[in-house]
Amino acid sequence: MTPLAQIIRKKIETEGPISVGTFMELALGHPEYGYYRTRDPLGRSGDFTTAPEISQIFGELLGLWVADMWMQMGSPPRFSFVEIGPGRGTLMADAMRATRKIKGFHDAARIVLVETSPVLTEKQKKTLVSYDVLWADSIDNPAVENGEGPIILLANEFLDTLSLRQLQLYRNEWYERVVVNKEAGFAFDVSNQVYDSEIAAYGATDGAIFETSPEREAFIRNLSGLIHVRGGAALLIDYGHDRAGLGETLQAIRAHRFVSVLEDVGENDVTSHVDFSALARVAKLADMYIYGPAGQGVFLESLGIRQRAEMLMWGKPPVQQKEIVEGMRRLTHSAQMGQLFRVMALCHDVNLRPAGF
Ligand code: SAH
């Protein structure tokens, strides 16, 4: 049993069953043993590979997206260029390289990385050594809140790290799904308290699962508040769906394979699909204008991924040309990341027209 599993076992022993959300929060974010506190999970030798690690074009196009938003805002002399959950800093490095010829952009951009992992912060420091960077541990931090000018924020595969709540149907009532101790480890169960909600049970049979994420919604509420006060825009990319529905998407991944959510706690990445419809609803209530969600494939094509790939291939040996084409294909093809990954933009001003939608 992992040290974190022992800690959670004790907690359940003394406090009773814990919600799926609390379990996920501890698995990923426990200050000492949480998955994201202890390792760099990315890449071939890690647990999963993300878009910026697949192709440099991803970060380049996102950088140009940010520069276009900045110009649409009237090229303000200062703005906060924020990335939350920046991994190895690859996306930010590609974004900055792609925008270095845009007049005034680098002078205006104050880069802020919002990160909780000490291991990844070290990597980001190395990747971005030639830039002035501020770090913050959340968006409710003076480095983000008190910046000058508007804010433009990028988040790729960040929302899915925020915890999930699961409800389960039993005799026409919804109950909170919880984790309990069993002799051999952990097991799922339902709490004995009816969850008072308006989720329609029509068509759902006993055992059906409905997922919500108060933590993701709270993040979008905070982000919208921030954009409302400072002006600006955000681009959110993650795997997920555009409409809420029944069904379980909670999953654990290790070394590029699905594994049990309840085993080896702290050693597996625990995630779930993001319900973009719920996030759009929260953002609209906070007076944001919403674009998307669109498929990542369509989004990147409309930002010119093909043209950029052709340019990159020019004069390169065939092996590298093949890599460039394969990277583009992985990001855009509907059988790969093109459909499952959704892109949504928020902005404060009706006159802004985020590119790619
Ligand atoms: N965007 C990167 C990394 C995605 S992995 C890429 O596309 O490659 C998720 C990232 O979110 C990691 O950098 C992880 O350390 C960070 N993270 C996890 N929980 C976080 C939190 N609560 N606040 C900020 N960053 C967090």
Mutate to test the pocket of ligand 1, among 42, 161, 163, 268 (most ligand atoms within 8 A of CB): 161
Contacts of 289 (CB under 8 A, 6+ apart): 346, 347, 348, 349, 350, 352
Look at residue 194 in the predicted model and tell me its pLDDT.
Answer: 80
Give the integer Cα–Cα distance in Å for 5 and 38. 15
Tell me how far CA of residue 9 lies from CA of 20, 109, 162, in angstroms. 14, 46, 22
Please give the backbone phi and psi of residue 333, each rounded to the nearest 5 degrees, phi first. -70, 140
Task: Yes or no: say if 157 and 205 are a contact pair by the CB < 8 Å rule.
Answer: no
Residue with CA closest to ligand 1 atom 14: 85
Handedness of CA 234, 239, 242, 243 (dihedral sign): negative
Look at residue 201 in the predicted model and tell me its pLDDT.
Answer: 63
Entry pTM = 0.96
Q: Is 84 close to ligand 1, i.e. is its CB under 6 Å away?
A: yes
Write the burial class of residue 174 (CB in 10 Å: 0-12 exposed, 13-18 middle, 19+ buried): buried
Look at residue 202 in the predicted model and tell me its pLDDT.
Answer: 65
Q: Is 53 close to ligand 1, i.e. is its CB under 6 Å away?
A: yes
**How close is the Cα of 216 to the center of ligand 1, in Å?**
14
Please give the backbone phi and psi of residue 175, each rounded to the nearest 5 degrees, phi first. -125, 150
Contacts of 307 (CB under 8 A, 6+ apart): none
Write the burial class of residue 243 (CB in 10 Å: 0-12 exposed, 13-18 middle, 19+ buried): exposed
Contacts of 285 (CB under 8 A, 6+ apart): none
By residue count, the chain amounts to 357
Look at residue 65 in the predicted model and tell me its pLDDT.
Answer: 98
Residue with CA closest to ligand 1 atom 15: 117
Contacts of 338 (CB under 8 A, 6+ apart): 295, 296, 297, 298, 331, 332
Residue with CA closest to ligand 1 atom 19: 161
* CA-wise closest residue to 272 among 119, 125, 162: 162
Task: Yes or no: say if 235 and 354 are a contact pair by the CB < 8 Å rule.
Answer: yes
Q: Is the bond into 293 cis (omega within 30 degrees of 0)?
A: yes
Give the integer Cα–Cα distance in Å for 294 and 316. 32
Neighbour-count burial for 34-60, b at 16+ CB within 10 Å, e otherwise: bbbbbbbbbeeebbbebbbbbbbbbbb
Per-residue pLDDT of the chain (357 residues; tens, 9 = 90+): 999 999 999 999 999 999 999 999 999 999 999 999 999 999 888 899 999 999 999 999 999 999 999 999 999 999 999 999 999 999 999 999 999 999 999 999 999 999 999 999 999 999 999 999 999 999 999 999 999 999 999 999 999 999 999 999 988 889 999 999 999 899 999 998 787 766 766 678 889 999 999 999 999 999 999 999 999 999 999 999 998 888 899 999 999 999 999 999 999 999 999 999 999 999 999 999 999 999 999 999 999 999 999 999 999 999 999 999 999 999 999 999 999 999 999 999 999 999 999
211, two tokens: 């997922």
Look at residue 277 in the predicted model and tell me its pLDDT.
Answer: 95
Task: Yes or no: say if 248 and 172 are a contact pair by the CB < 8 Å rule.
Answer: no
